[in-house]
A and B are shown apart, each in its own frame.
Chain A
Amino acid sequence: KAGVTQTPRYLIKTRGQQVTLSCSPISGHRSVSWYQQTPGQGLQFLFEYFSETQRNKGNFPGRFSGRQFSNSRSEMNVSTLELGDSALYLCASSASDGRINEQFFGPGTRLTVL
Chain B
Amino acid sequence: KNEVEQSPQNLTAQEGEFITINCSYSVGISALHWLQQHPGGGIVSLFMLSSGKKKHGRLIATINIQEKHSSLHITASHPRDSAVYICHLSRSYNTDKLIFGTGTRLQVFP
Contact = CB atoms under 8 A, between A and B. Distances in A.
Interface residues of B, number: 25
A35 B88 CA distance: 13
Contact of A105 (B45, B48, B96): B45
A62 to B, nearest CB: 19
Main secondary structure of the interface of A (DSSP, over half): strand
Contacts of A44: 100
B53 interface: no
Interface stretch (B14-22, B36-44, B58-66, B70-78): B36-44
Given A42-B101, A96-B96, 17 more contacts: A33-B96, A33-B97, A35-B98, A37-B41, A42-B86, A45-B99, A45-B100, A48-B95, A48-B97, A58-B97, A98-B94, A100-B30, A100-B93, A104-B45, A105-B43, A105-B44, A105-B45
